[in-house]
Amino acid sequence: MLKEFKDFVMRGNVLDLATAVIIGGAFGKIIGSLVNDIIMPLIGLVMGGVNFSELSFTVGAAVIKWGSFVQTTLDFLVIAFVVFLIIKTANNMKKAPAPATPAAPTTKECPHCFSTIAIKATRCPNCTSEIK
C-alpha cells in the first residue's frame, strides 16, 4: 500500500496540482496586497478619503458590511484580469502551428481546348488532342 501511495503522489498531475495550489495561494496574497494596499486607497482618496472595508449600515441588530463586499468584488476583478493577462501572454508565446501543405492538384488544363482534364490524362477527352 505504501508503494501505491508513493506512485500516486509522484505522478505528474498530482505534483502539478500541488504546485498550482501553492503558487496560487502566494499569488492570491500578492493580488490581495495590490488591491488592499495600493488600488483601494487610491480609489478611496479619489472618493474623498473613503475606506470601503469599513462601510456598512445597520438593519435592526444586523450589520450589513457592503463595503467589505465591494472590496471582495474588486479583489476578484483584479485577480481575474491578471490571470487573463497571464494566459493571454502564455498563448501568444506559444509557437504558431505550421501552415498546412496544399493538396496536390488532381486536374490540369488542356493546352489546346482549355478544358479541365484529369492530371494523368495523356489525351484530351474533349478535343482528342495528345497531351504531353
What do you get for the CA distance between the two ends of the chain, in Å? 75
Q: What is the pLDDT, as a whole number, of residue 12?
A: 66
Are 107 and 62 found together in one domain? no
Are 43 and 107 found together in one domain? no
What pTM was estimated for this model as a whole? 0.47
Are 6 and 61 found together in one domain? yes
Q: What is the pLDDT, as a whole number, of residue 108?
A: 93
For cell 490581495, what's the residue? 32
Q: Residues 4-32: what's their mean pLDDT?
A: 81
For cell 509522484, what's the residue? 10
Mean pLDDT of the chain: 84
Q: Residues 117-123: what's their mean pLDDT?
A: 90
Are 12 and 44 found together in one domain? yes
Q: What is the pLDDT, as a whole number, of residue 81?
A: 86
For cell 474588486, what's the residue? 74
**CATH code of the domain in which 56 resides:** 1.10.1200.120
What is the C-alpha separation between 23 and 75, in angstroms, rounded? 17
Are 83 and 125 found together in one domain? no
33-88 pLDDT, tens per residue? 887 788 878 887 887 877 777 888 999 999 999 888 888 888 788 878 877 888 88
Q: Which domain holds residue 115?
A: 101-132
What is the C-alpha separation between 83 and 37, in angstroms, rounded? 19
What is the C-alpha separation between 22 and 29, in angstroms, rounded? 11
Q: What is the pLDDT, as a whole number, of residue 109?
A: 92
Are 86 and 106 found together in one domain? no
The count of structural domains within the chain is 2
